[in-house]
Amino acid sequence: MKMLPPHRHRSSLEEPLRLSDLPGIIDWSGKIAYLDRDGVLNKWREGYVNSPEELEMLDGAGFAVGLLRRNGFRICIVTNQSPVGRGLWGHDVLSQIHDSLQEQLLNEDKDAEIDLILYSPYPPDQGAWARKPRPGMLEAGRQLIENSEFNSDQPTSISYGKNWINRPSEKGSILVGDRESDILAAETFGVKGIRCNPETGIAGVIDMIISPELEGQN
């Protein structure tokens, strides 16, 4: 298995992450919502989402992300984006797509801020540790967010697989994805995986994560 590392939206991977405060007066309790992108936040598209114009949001995705943050979750997107590695288009196009994704989430809910976007640009045949169903993006996401919350503005030195010891608990954290590869990545990593229907995305499972009667009591 090759340690081809994840890539990070508009940043080098290990650069210090600037997290904005969670909504209200919530202190972070260590919960991360790891979210797949296509079929979770935006519509899955045959032949990939190839430009910001092709990005079509799923109803209620912004509200669901805002609700997660209001309930103390940090938000980390973990998305396989092999078109980059296949040479169909570059990291710059993906950056534009992700800027648009963030903007549209915030248009629906002002709390729907994404804390971190990680992606795997590698085609499947490269066997990258960062490509789901392998857990490299989740491993990097946890370490980047923890380091930013608790340590410093120093770069994070990320460890993977067996080299990462003393892992923090993923109790209370979740992964939401629409594919078997998402759920397998969650299992290997050790976080609760929730499979959603790509037609409804995260809005269709948000009540399983945050029950309506608990909302606002966190």
* Residues designated catalytic: 36, 38
Extract long-range pairs of 198-201: CB within 8 Å, 24+ residues apart: 198/38, 198/39, 198/40, 198/43, 198/44, 200/58, 200/59, 201/39, 201/40, 201/41, 201/42, 201/43, 201/58, 201/60, 201/61
Q: How far is the CB of 127 from Mg ion (least distance, A)?
A: 20
Q: How far is the CB of 189 from Mg ion (least distance, A)?
A: 16
User: Tokens 């210090």 belong to which residue?
Assistant: 16
Helix (H, G, I), strand (E, B) or coil at 42: strand
- Among the candidate windows 51-59, 163-171, 175-183, 187-195, which touches Mg ion by CB under 5 A? 175-183
- C-alpha span between 199 and 178 (Å, rounded): 9
Whether residue 168 contacts residue 160, with contact meaning beta carbons closer than 8 Å, is answered with: no
Amino acid making up residue 173: S
- Among the candidate windows 30-38, 67-75, 125-133, 161-169, which touches Mg ion by CB under 5 A? 30-38
- The one among 178, 186, 195, 201 contacting Mg ion by CB under 5 A: 178
Q: Pattern 31-50, binding to Mg ion, x per CB under 5 A? A: -----x-xx-----------
Q: Pattern 74-113, binding to Mg ion, x per CB under 5 A? A: ----------------------------------------
Of 98, 106, 85, which Cα lies nearest the Cα of 5? 85
Q: How far is the CB of 79 from Mg ion (least distance, A)?
A: 7
> For residues 36 and 115, which CB has a smaller minimum distance to Mg ion in the complex?
36
139 in contact with Mg ion (CB under 5 A): no
Q: How far is the CB of 204 from Mg ion (least distance, A)?
A: 13
- The binding site for Mg ion (CB under 5 A) comprises 36, 38-39, 178
